Amino acid sequence: MSELPLAVIAVPAPPAVEELLSSVCRPCYVAASDVAANLATAEGLLCPAPFPITVALLDAAPRLRVVSNFGVGFNNVDLLEMERRGIAVCNTPGVLTDAVADLTVGMVLMASRGLVANNRFATGGAWSAGESPPPLGWDLAGKTLGLVGFGRIGRAVAGRARHFGVRIVYHDILTSPGPGFEDCAYLSLEDLLRESDVVSLHVNLTEETHHRIGAAELALMKPTAWLLNTSRGPVVDQPALVAALRAGTLAGAVLDVLETEPPAADDPLLAMPNVLLLPHIGSATVETRAAMLDLAARNLAAVLGGHPPPECVNPDVLPRALQRR
Ligand code: DGY
């Protein structure tokens, strides 16, 4: 009987996941910084979604058959390069939809009710000192929420936000909202940006969506509008965003993702009073992270065991990836 395939696992795994992996492969648990050094004979890699799969890394992994991302995003891989090498790319869609949508609703409220400024006012001494409170917030009812990207997560945000009485408009490559979302209106990106009081981004990062929100797009937004981003930092041209916020042509931004994570200590966004930053926590709940790891492990185990995985971004590659080399 041939030896089980080696798999490099660059995320901590609880016993149930360890057990699953050990049944189909020889798992080698490493820190993300040690992945490259351990790939020489590895057939599988399980890594965080932002982990960059570079050509140099792939060159160091001649037997690799599957990269299983612990996350839904897959902008860390070059799909053409993976196809050329016959490597399957797996991700974890679906299981984090609710967590990201919940956070987005929280971000809408952070913006509309000034939650951060009010918390600082209450706890930072200003309230006790009798200083003037932050400006009043604004009601959501009757406002327009613009969702850029109306896939699983965009629709989950719409399903929650409609209970606040907002008008929901969206822009997507598909113009039809899908069953159950007939109350949401399709708009061109330009019209969505012009009409929305809050714009929230829910697109994958691709060549097409890189810097999709740049100076020209920001200039279309209302000066009272807020931009929210839980997708990927590079969807927004960050220097253009900083310029718009400084110029007052945009009221504020709530960002869970940045072009560079973590940000440099002197990143201007860190010091802007109308920017609320979160450290990429869209999927960061106990339940969601457990479900993501379970799916990522099942994806890896399936491919290494010679079976189609539950989720694969490039299924055309599977006939080659399922064969041991
Ligand atoms: C994802 O699932 O892609 C999250 O953003 C974590 O990177």
Pocket test for ligand 1, best of 283, 299, 313 (most atoms within 8 A of CB): 283
pLDDT interval class at 29 (50, 70, 90): very high
The answer to whether 232 is a known catalytic residue is: yes
| Helix H or strand E segment including 56 | helix 55-59
What's the CA-to-centroid distance between 75 and ligand 1, angstroms?
10
Is the Cβ atom of 282 under 6 angstroms away from ligand 1? yes
Provide the whole-model pTM.
0.96
Amino acid at 167: R
The answer to whether 259 is a known catalytic residue is: no
Q: What tens digit of pLDDT does each residue of 111-159 get?
A: 999 999 999 999 999 999 999 999 999 999 999 999 999 999 999 999 9
Is the Cβ atom of 96 under 6 angstroms away from ligand 1? yes
Q: What tens digit of pLDDT does each residue of 56-83 get?
A: 999 999 999 999 999 999 999 999 999 9
**Is residue 76 within 8 Å of residue 54, measured between CB atoms?**
no
CA-to-CA separations, 278 to 47, 71, 138, 235, 242, in angstroms, rounded: 22, 18, 22, 16, 16
Is the Cβ atom of 283 under 6 angstroms away from ligand 1? yes
Q: What tens digit of pLDDT does each residue of 295-305 get?
A: 999 999 999 99
Q: What is the DSSP letter of 38?
A: G
- Measuring CA to CA, which residue among 239, 236, 159, 164 is closest to residue 201? 236
Q: What tens digit of pLDDT does each residue of 195-254 get?
A: 999 999 999 999 999 999 999 999 999 999 999 999 999 999 999 999 999 999 999 999
Is the Cβ atom of 72 under 6 angstroms away from ligand 1? yes
